[in-house]
Amino acid sequence: MKECLVSPSMLAADFANIQRDVEMLNSSEADYIHIDIMDGVFVPNISFGFPVTEAIARHAKKPLDFHLMVKDATPYLEACRDSGAEIITVHYEACTHLHRTIMAIHELGAKAGVALNPHTPVAVLEEIIDHIDLALIMSVNPGFGGQKFIPHTFAKVEKLAAMAEKTNPDLLIEIDGGVTSENARELVQKGANMLVAGSFVFKSENPQDTIHSLKRV
């Protein structure tokens, strides 16, 4: 049995009962609360904006893990931090000046993450890996919850874990999309140490038990 961090995604919460769902996570073993921000341009969907994330932050007792699926992250970074983000993750595919964006996140006092779409090789992180706190491997195409896990993710996690071991052994390796008890164990065995789970947590009969078991795969 290996322990890992779990970051349930609010995208799968009941938006008519946000306070109830955040309080459920507060009294669970969740380590973070994952917040998906979409702009309808980088991904073909829109989730929620900062009035909603501020409402989540007002009730949350767990640190917030922001995942920005937007074409231009720069104008949103300060609002994320003001909304209580402890981690801000931007997409490699959306950042022309990734190093500058990472520095801007650090200047705000947050941890910086870089997310990779399923087709993006982990090797692109080689020159930035020791400047970041987290790498997020998308195990579905970003934009929607409830999609099927892409098995090629296992190989990417293994490669990234080997890269991290050499230059940044404290790197958080977060997996996002279609995570369930079926794939969690292999993900953690291959080197993942942080799992996002939306539907698998919120659609389960007892979300707190589900979080408990995901932490010990």
Give the active site residues.
Answer: 36, 176
- Judge contact between 48 and 15, C-beta under 8 A: yes
Three-state SS for 98-110 is HHHHHHHHHHCCC
Find the binding residues for ligand DX5 in span 78-137 (CB under 6 A): none
Distance CA(13)–CA(60), nearest Å, equals 14
142 binds ligand DX5 (CB under 6 A): yes
Here's the x/- map for ligand DX5, 155-194, by CB under 6 A: it reads as ---------------------xxxx---------------
Q: Where are the alpha helices (DSSP H) in the chain?
A: 18-26, 50-59, 77-82, 98-107, 153-167, 181-190, 199-202, 207-214
Which C-beta is closer to ligand DX5: that of 47 or that of 107? 47
Which tokens sit at 51?
A: 């009035």
Which C-beta is closer to ligand DX5: that of 67 or that of 215? 67
Find the binding residues for ligand DX5 in span 58-87 (CB under 6 A): 67
Q: List phi, psi (to 5°) of 183.
A: -110, -10
12 binds, among Zn ion, ligand DX5, none (CB under 5 to 8 A by kind): ligand DX5
| Interacting residues of 5 by C-beta distance below 8 A, sequence separation 6+ | 31, 32, 172, 193, 194, 195, 215
Here's the x/- map for ligand DX5, 17-36, by CB under 6 A: it reads as -----------------x-x
Which C-beta is closer to ligand DX5: that of 125 or that of 214? 214
Here's the x/- map for Zn ion, 59-98, by CB under 5 A: it reads as --------x-------------------------------
For the purposes of burial, counting CB atoms within 10 Å of the CB of 63, is it exposed (0-12), middle (13-18) or buried (19 or more)?
A: middle
Q: Which residues bind Zn ion (CB under 5 A)?
A: 36, 67, 176
Q: Which residues bind ligand DX5 (CB under 6 A)?
A: 9, 11-12, 34, 36, 67, 140, 142-147, 176-179, 196-200
